[in-house]
Amino acid sequence: MFKHCSQIMVVALTASCLAGGAQAQLIIAHRGASHDAPENTLAAFQLAWERRADGIEGDFYLTKDGQIVCIHDKTTARTAPAHAELTVAESTLAQLQSLDVGSWKSPKYAGERMPTLNQVMETVPDEGRIFVEIKCGPEILPVLEAQLAVSGLKPRQIVIICFNKEVVTQARQRMPQYKANWLTSYKQETDNSPWTPSQLEVCQTLKQTAATGLGSQGELQVINESFVQAIRQQGNEFHVWTINDLNAARTFQALGAESITTDRPDFLREGLFEQRQSQ
């Protein structure tokens, strides 16, 4: 998925980080422990906690009847292939929760239902975190604000994340007690063209939206020490997704990412922390 940096770069960055005082990154389970359980289900989130994730990340849409459900795609085609396709925004909670969203992954997960945001938040332990990725527009924010307020979670346990700049801007205005990260991926028009957005454009967007941090795609051809320093120098946190390769994870650990999002929280925790401590 990502083009790996050389082993020399990993070793050098790790040595630099350890010399300056290493930071313990948060391990965030991407759509739950989605390598092994069906993504964005209670089964995946419970498995993430069992595998000692520091936090979970889930994707959320607003339904036709004003409820917030956990699903990545605009439609149910991919995660409920045995049923007629529904568009999330045009469907009610009852319609969506009538679907089996577990069997596509494995027969052992047959009968898993699409959870609501409230159901997902109920799984979060006292010291756990939840990264709430908004997959629709600002119309979800009044409902989100109300549900977060009565969730019983502390503000420090909640991070709102979104690719949509307007969502991040309005979330910061409406709910300044919560962190909100702007998400971005990177692309090239040709092999020789510059990557976009550029470092400057990323920094400008973080300022314009008043985001507390950047949630960056883990593209090693873009992210380096100077990139991360530029983010931090203007007062923003640096987070990275979705990292399942241990060498790449070690590079981002050395760069001091506040969190690393992964489909395999147990694999990264062992590789980044426990093996090093046993040496």
How sure is the predictor about 276, in pLDDT bands with cuts at 50, 70 and 90?
low
Whether the pLDDT of residue 3 is over 90: the answer is no
Say how far apart CA 189 and CA 170 lie, in whole Å: 31
Say how far apart CA 69 and CA 122 lie, in whole Å: 14
Residue type, 229: Q
Say how far apart CA 256 and CA 177 lie, in whole Å: 24
Say how far apart CA 17 and CA 222 lie, in whole Å: 19
Q: Provide the percentage of residues in the chain whose pLDDT is more than 90.
A: 89
The length of the chain, given as a count of residues: 279
| Residue that wins the pLDDT comparison between 188 and 8 | 188
pLDDT in tens, 130-162: 999 999 999 999 999 999 999 999 999 999 999
Whether the pLDDT of residue 111 is over 80: the answer is yes
**Average pLDDT rounded to a whole number, residues 28-38:** 98
Whether the pLDDT of residue 191 is over 80: the answer is yes
The per-residue pLDDT for 279 is: 53
How sure is the predictor about 274, in pLDDT bands with cuts at 50, 70 and 90?
confident
How sure is the predictor about 2, in pLDDT bands with cuts at 50, 70 and 90?
very low
Structure token digits, residue 274: 């426990």
| Residue that wins the pLDDT comparison between 24 and 74 | 74
Q: Which CATH architecture group holds 7-278?
A: Alpha-Beta Barrel (3.20)
Q: Annotate the chain with DSSP letters as a single string.
A: ---PPPHHHHHHHHHHHHHH-----EEEEETTTTTTS-TTSHHHHHHHHHTT-SEEEEEEEE-TTS-EEE-SSSBSTTT-TTS---BGGGS-HHHHHTS--STTT-GGGTT--PPBHHHHHTT--TT-EEEEEE-S-GGGHHHHHHHHHTS---GGGEEEEES-HHHHHHHHHH-TTSEEEEEE--B-SSTTSPPBS-HHHHHHHHHHHT-SEEEEE--TTT--HHHHHHHHHTT-EEEEE----HHHHHHHHHTT-SEEEES-HHHHHIIIIIHHHH-
pLDDT in tens, 211-264: 999 999 999 999 999 999 999 999 999 999 999 999 999 999 999 999 999 999
The per-residue pLDDT for 4 is: 36
Domain boundaries, the chain: 7-278
Whether the pLDDT of residue 65 is over 70: the answer is yes
The mean of the pLDDT values for the chain is 92
| Residue that wins the pLDDT comparison between 21 and 91 | 91
The per-residue pLDDT for 6 is: 34
Q: Provide the percentage of residues in the chain whose pLDDT is more than 70.
A: 90
**Average pLDDT rounded to a whole number, residues 50-66:** 98
Say how far apart CA 68 and CA 99 lie, in whole Å: 16
